[in-house]
A and B are shown apart, each in its own frame.
Chain A
Amino acid sequence: NAGVTQTPKFQVLKTGQSMTLQCAQDMNHEYMSWYRQDPGMGLRLIHYSVGAGITDQGEVPNGYNVSRSTTEDFPLRLLSAAPSQTSVYFCASSRGVYTEAFFGQGTRLTVV
């Protein structure tokens, strides 16, 4: 029973590099989202999706892209990494926005 799986768990990037954080869920949830957690800021929504083929921006979308080609997968792409993107990233899924969200274990990203 995997739930929400994020890879990698840790990543160090150089400024300007690009990368994709992977997120997969096996619960057939329609709603998926990406958050970043920074000290004193809580969890801030980056992008979300209400179903395959549908994505929208959250509070802090700049510098990130997403796509949702399948129900299971919701990758987050960093286009050109900046030190301000150093953070812990969490992917979450739920049946709908008004239901319990299940979170992955997080990806700790450091941009140097």
Chain B
Amino acid sequence: DQQVKQNSPSLSVQEGRISILNCDYTNSMFDYFLWYKKYPAEGPTFLISISSIKDKNEDGRFTVFLNKSAKHLSLHIVPSQPGDSAVYFCAAISLYGNKLVFGAGTILRVKS
């Protein structure tokens, strides 16, 4: 039973346009959310995070939105660049746990 779900296995976007990656979660005790990016043959790298007390966090071209009532978060990349092509993982941490739970990942392809 996946507590963190990324229902889109892949997404293809034109260079310069917006990429929107979605993530849903089922555990209402999750209070901190992170996005990681992974290139082939490399380990994941941290991208951006958001606490449950916020609904938006921005870092350059990357913005994460959190909708607690819908148990939904999204990562916006504007503008998308070919170097953004990677697998993006959504992850969450429970207030009462020490465990980082990951979604299955979404493959983003940015076409030039």
Binding site for B on A (CB under 8 A): 4, 31, 33, 35, 40-45, 48, 50, 56, 58-59, 90, 92, 97-98, 100-106
The chain A residue sitting closest to B44, CB to CB, is A103
In the complex with contacts A98-B32, A98-B93, A43-B45 CB distance below 8 A: no
Provide the B67-111 mask, 1 if CB < 8 A to any CB of A, else 0.
000000000000000000000010101000111111111000000
Which residues on A sit within 8 Å (CB–CB) of B49?
100
How many Å from the CB of B90 to the closest CB on chain A? 9
Contact residue among A48, A101, A105 (Cβ-Cβ distance under 8 Å from B46)? A101
Give Cα A56 to B43, complex, Å. 22
Contact residue among A33, A42, A97, A104 (Cβ-Cβ distance under 8 Å from B43)? A104
Which residues on B sit within 8 Å (CB–CB) of A100?
34, 46, 49
The chain B residue sitting closest to A57, CB to CB, is B99
Which residues on B sit within 8 Å (CB–CB) of A104?
43
Provide the B20-42 mask, 1 if CB < 8 A to any CB of A, else 0.
00000000000010101000011
Binding site for A on B (CB under 8 A): 2, 4, 6, 9, 32, 34, 36, 41-46, 49, 89, 91, 93, 97-105
The chain B residue sitting closest to A50, CB to CB, is B98
A contacts with B: majority SS? strand
List, sorted by A's number, 11 A–B pairs whose CB atoms are closer than 8 Å: A33-B100, A42-B102, A45-B100, A92-B43, A97-B93, A97-B97, A97-B99, A97-B100, A98-B93, A100-B46, A105-B42
Known contacts A97-B100, A103-B43, then 6 further A-B pairs from the complex at CB < 8 Å, ordered by chain A residue = A40-B104, A45-B100, A90-B44, A100-B46, A100-B49, A103-B45
Do B98 and A105 have beta carbons less than 8 Å apart? Answer: no
In the complex with contacts A90-B44, A101-B46, A103-B44, A42-B93 CB distance below 8 A: no
Do B44 and A44 have beta carbons less than 8 Å apart? Answer: no
How many Å from the CB of B99 to the closest CB on chain A? 6
Q: Which of B4, B36, B45, B99 has the most CB of A within 10 A?
A: B99
